Structure 1
Amino acid sequence: MEQRLSNTWRMTVNEKKFIETALLSDLRIDGRGPFDYRNVTIQFGSEDGSSEVQLGQTRVMGFATSQLVQPYRDRPNEGTLAIFTEFSPMADPSFEAGRPGEFAVELGRIIDRGLRESRAVDTESLCVVAGKWVWSIRLDLHILDNGGNLVDAANIAALAALLTCRRPECTLGGEDGQEVIIHPPEVREPLPLIVHHLPIAVTFGFIGNESTVIIDPSHFEEAVMGGKLTATLNTNGDVCAIQKAGGQGVIQSVIMQCLRIASVKAADITGKIKKAVELYNTGRALKKIKRHPGSVDVSKAASRGVNNISTEMEKPKLKTEDESIKQTDDMEIEAPSSNKEGSSLGDNKPKSFIGGPSTWDPYSKGVNADELKASLASRDLLLVEVLVRLSTFLFSEVESGQGILYFLRKVPCHLGIPQSRAIISWI
């Protein structure tokens, strides 16, 4: 237990006695119950395969990378998974820089035993050419802050990094068909790792004569506990690994109680990991969606005011109206032959119903500009509203001698063909 005494230099004898007495009375200095877990926060970096987990005051960063290597002779069809841990002196003054210490090696073995030996990662899917090339997954765990229970925090960081890690897609080519071609991410989408299940490590601490058990010990509680037990389970209830470090022996009933509690905590932590990974994948997919060049950037327009947003969104509408008027000109229709032959308006009057733009605007007298703009922007006005708006101008033109048909020939300039036909039939 030399490693657990590394935190004792920061605590006095009275503090140790107080913490131990409180734990024996089922009280914890941070206000938790004996089997309460600290809050878990999972974050991801900008690159695939990077994660950062915060468990209380403990912070661990995981980073997973991949590269092509030659396989082991006894396993020519399987890739490899290697786990490395790094303890920074900034995380805890007791950690020494350089060569990893005994506790760093032990931490890596516990996580490796839960992940690799339980075959959580499908290593056979990492094979490219049997006996020649396989993918090797390297998982680096960096301890950023030691707030206690490094095993659980590092295990969560390792799982989050593996679930977001993606290796480049590769194919075989060349003259002999055995040349490995690695495709960059811009050409082909990288492939995620195949993870069958999530082994979750849950650590218990034993206080006094091993009669008092607590879950997720903090760095202050680790300084006074006599031993600890780490159980690694998945949501199916399978025990992937178990390790008892230090202290006296534990009876079978206590171990079974710890496994039952660990099974419940593993299901809860698994749900948090999957939810965080799902949010990461959703954000990653949204970043690849290209914005339409003709769309309005609301985030940029918001800085210039609401009026500018309306103006930018209104321009394409007005352009569409002009295009519709031009389309109306191309779709000219002639009046019925009865109107052509029986017209008595004179030679200077048109003999056919011809639509098209004109300098004469029937809306030019007594029309509000806002109402005109609204009528042009909306082509779905009801027929009743159209008739009400045009009745005033219709009779005014009749009284001035312009004539009904002379007025109606100007209607397609501002309304569509269906609305014009409806007005003719109404008259």
Structure 2
Amino acid sequence: MISVSERDYITKGVDVSIRADGRSRLDFRELVLETGMITQASGSCRVTLDGGTDILVGVKVEVGSIEPEVEAEEADILEDMEQMDQDDGITMVKDKDRGRIICNVECSPSATRIFEPRDIEDMCNEYSQFMNRVLNGSHGGVDLKALCIIPGSTCWILNIDVLVLDYGGNLLDAIFMATRGALHNTRIPRATVEQSDGRVEFDIADEETEIIRGWEDVPLCVSLNKIGYRHIVDAAPLEELCSSARLTVAVNRRGNLCALQKGGHGGIEPSLLAEMVQTAKQIGQTLLKRQDAALREEEERIAAGKDPIGFGAASRH
């Protein structure tokens, strides 16, 4: 899919911090975010990166049991995921007074023309598992205790459905950007709990809603691709093909590292790894501040009685 001359051109350009589209190594492409795109969802957000990547995220809120019954095969899968979480150093919450988040990533046919069907399935599974581990973990941001309705029995479940509409590189960063925007846009019906005759019952209001507590602490991802002896952010498709390794770093607004995931077949030297993590923290903080500013701007527009038309933000580092 990429010739030797193209690979050499991209690699040498990255070495001198001049990329094919004119950006430097640490420049993000311009991005556009729009919230409230899906009327039937509890919250939604669409993120488009200049160059093709287009992500739509919808959040659907439903009432469910805190410990759902699972089949034997599903139980084995959950056990394997718990072991993976322990290996990754991510603490999963399993208390009986917390809700949960279920993430699912899918690709539309128009976004998968350059992929093999098996590669698409593997990529969607990888991203879904990564999102589930991060958002349900101790550093996921969302206050899972606030999603509990009746401890040990009933809770709110946040179903986060991600649809990749178009592919232009750097999918995971755009997915987390759209997910955070969708959680900000999500409203949960207010639930009241009453105890009568020794039984605990709850009632859900028809019109009163609440925001998701902790959405502002949901991290964003910054993916850094190693090309030659250098690394870049927000890689385009051809740059991803030239990459020997990829490091994805999840950072929240406090500057804390929430997750790390390494991809690709190549290795990353320890000194370069530390540099990449530090770069991701700085860029992640910049992206978070710009997204929060844009979200506040849209809220002010709605409060002033103007139609929400989405918002754009140039995300140059």
TM-score normalised to structure 2 length: 0.79
Distance in 1, Cα, partners of 2:225 & 2:119 = 28
Q: 1:100 to 1:180 in 2, by over 3 A?
A: farther
- Per-residue deviation, residues 106-135 of structure 1 (Å, max 9, x unmatched): 112233333321131100001111122100
Report the 3-state secondary structure (helix = DSSP H, G, I; strand = E; otherwise coil) of the residue aligned with 2:221. Answer: strand
State the match for 2:127 in structure 1. 107
State the match for 2:91 in structure 1. none
Given candidates 197, 206, 228, the residue that maps to 1:184 is 206
- Per-residue deviation, residues 54-97 of structure 1 (Å, max 9, x unmatched): 12221111111111001028532110111110111201303577
CA contact (8 A) 1:68 1:133 kept: yes
Distance in 2, Cα, partners of 1:232 & 1:156 = 11
State the match for 1:76 in structure 2. 96
Distance in 2, Cα, partners of 1:286 & 1:96 = 48
CA contact (8 A) 2:224 2:247 kept: yes
CA contact (8 A) 2:140 2:219 kept: no
Q: What is the Cα deviation at residue 286 of structure 1?
A: 4.6
State the match for 2:61 in structure 1. 66
Distance in 2, Cα, partners of 1:267 & 1:236 = 8
Q: Which structure has more RCO (C-alpha within 8 Å, separation ≥ 6)?
A: 2
Q: What is the Cα deviation at residue 245 of structure 1?
A: 1.0
Distance in 1, Cα, partners of 2:6 & 2:256 = 39
Report the 3-state secondary structure (helix = DSSP H, G, I; strand = E; otherwise coil) of the residue aligned with 1:84. Answer: strand
Given candidates 232, 238, 251, the residue that maps to 2:256 is 238
How many residues in Structure 1 have an aligned counterpart in Structure 2? 274
- Per-residue deviation, residues 277-315 of structure 1 (Å, max 9, x unmatched): 223333444559xxxxxxxxxxxxxxxxxxxxxxxxxxx
Distance in 1, Cα, partners of 2:249 & 2:21 = 23
Q: What is the Cα deviation at residue 173 of structure 1?
A: 4.4
Q: Any unmatched runs of 5+ in structure 1?
A: 1-7, 289-427
Given the alignment of the two structures, is residue 92 of structure 1 paired with residue 112 of structure 2, yes or no? yes
Q: What is the Cα deviation at residue 175 of structure 1?
A: 4.8
Given candidates 123, 135, 140, the residue that maps to 2:144 is 123
Structure 1 letter corresponding to 2:104:
F
Q: 1:99 to 1:193 in 2, by over 3 A?
A: farther
State the match for 1:37 in structure 2. 28
Matches within 5 A, 1:10-25: 11-25=2-16
Matches within 5 A, 1:1-400: 8=1, 11-46=2-37, 47=39, 48-56=42-50, 57-72=52-67, 75-95=95-115, 101-117=121-137, 118-173=139-194, 175-176=196-197, 178-185=200-207, 188=208, 190-195=209-214, 197-208=217-228, 211-287=229-305
- Name whichever structure is richer in strand by fraction: 2
Distance in 2, Cα, partners of 1:100 & 1:132 = 37
Structure 2 letter corresponding to 1:53:
V
Distance in 2, Cα, partners of 1:96 & 1:120 = 34
CA contact (8 A) 2:58 2:182 kept: yes
CA contact (8 A) 1:87 1:97 kept: no
Report the 3-state secondary structure (helix = DSSP H, G, I; strand = E; otherwise coil) of the residue aligned with 2:110. Answer: coil
TM-score normalised to structure 1 length: 0.60
Distance in 2, Cα, partners of 1:150 & 1:249 = 21
Report the 3-state secondary structure (helix = DSSP H, G, I; strand = E; otherwise coil) of the residue aligned with 1:78. Answer: coil
- Per-residue deviation, residues 219-247 of structure 1 (Å, max 9, x unmatched): 11111111111111123221111111123
Distance in 1, Cα, partners of 2:174 & 2:157 = 24
- Per-residue deviation, residues 159-196 of structure 1 (Å, max 9, x unmatched): 111111111112134854623211112xx2x1010116
- Per-residue deviation, residues 345-384 of structure 1 (Å, max 9, x unmatched): xxxxxxxxxxxxxxxxxxxxxxxxxxxxxxxxxxxxxxxx
- Between 1:77-86 and 1:190-199, the stretch displaced more is 190-199
Structure 1 letter corresponding to 2:54:
R
CA contact (8 A) 1:170 1:180 kept: yes
Structure 2 letter corresponding to 1:116:
N
Distance in 2, Cα, partners of 1:225 & 1:13 = 14
CA contact (8 A) 1:79 1:127 kept: yes
Report the 3-state secondary structure (helix = DSSP H, G, I; strand = E; otherwise coil) of the residue aligned with 1:262. Answer: helix
- Identity in percent: 26
Report the 3-state secondary structure (helix = DSSP H, G, I; strand = E; otherwise coil) of the residue aligned with 2:11. Answer: helix
CA RMSD, aligned part only?
2.4
